Structure 1
Amino acid sequence: MKTYRTIQGDTWDSIAFSFAGNAGFMTPLIEANPDYTEVVIFPAGILLQVPDISVEAASTLPPWRLEDEES
């Protein structure tokens, strides 16, 4: 798990986007920092815990890979 020190004006979705590339990471980020769930816009200097980002593997193979799997 990493840590992140907020800068003035940070929001949950902006922090999530900066770490994971999308705002969908906001939920795990909030869950890792329950003391700050009521904060909408952060002041500078809050230390947040940033959980590891899980990368989901594709559930299907592309057609060109299916041929290799069947061989």
Structure 2
Amino acid sequence: MRTVKTLSGDTWDVIAWRIWGDGADQAHMADLVDANPQHIDTAIFAGNVEIIVPEVEDAEPVSIPPWRQ
């Protein structure tokens, strides 16, 4: 099982983006939260928190709004 450690100030979408790349912040963020129920109430992480990275299937590309491109 793969894990990553957070950086101070990380949010779920930023962690997903760092793991899976563009579009993953929306496509796989829920998978990441589901794999880490002990942190479900965390919105902004402290540094050095271990997060479990679930195995996920490639999702259809999510349209990224122009202001995030």
TM-score under structure 2 normalisation? 0.73
| Residues 16-27 of structure 1: pairs in structure 2 closer than 5 A | 16-21=16-21, 22-23=24-25, 24-27=27-30
Report the counterpart of residue 11 of structure 1 in structure 2: 11
Alpha-carbon distance between aligned partners in 2 of 1:33 and 1:3, rounded to the nearest angstrom: 11
In terms of Rg, which structure is larger? 1
Which ranges of structure 2 fall in alignment gaps of 5 or more residues? Answer: 61-69
When the two structures are aligned, how many residues end up with a matched partner? Answer: 57
Report the counterpart of residue 38 of structure 1 in structure 2: 41
Stretches of 4+ aligned residues off by more than 6 angstroms? none
Which ranges of structure 1 fall in alignment gaps of 5 or more residues? Answer: 58-71
Taking only the aligned residue pairs, the percentage that are identical comes to 35
- Structure (1/2) with the larger helix percentage: 1
RMSD: 1.6
TM-score under structure 1 normalisation? 0.72
Distance apart, 1:55 and its partner CA: 2.1
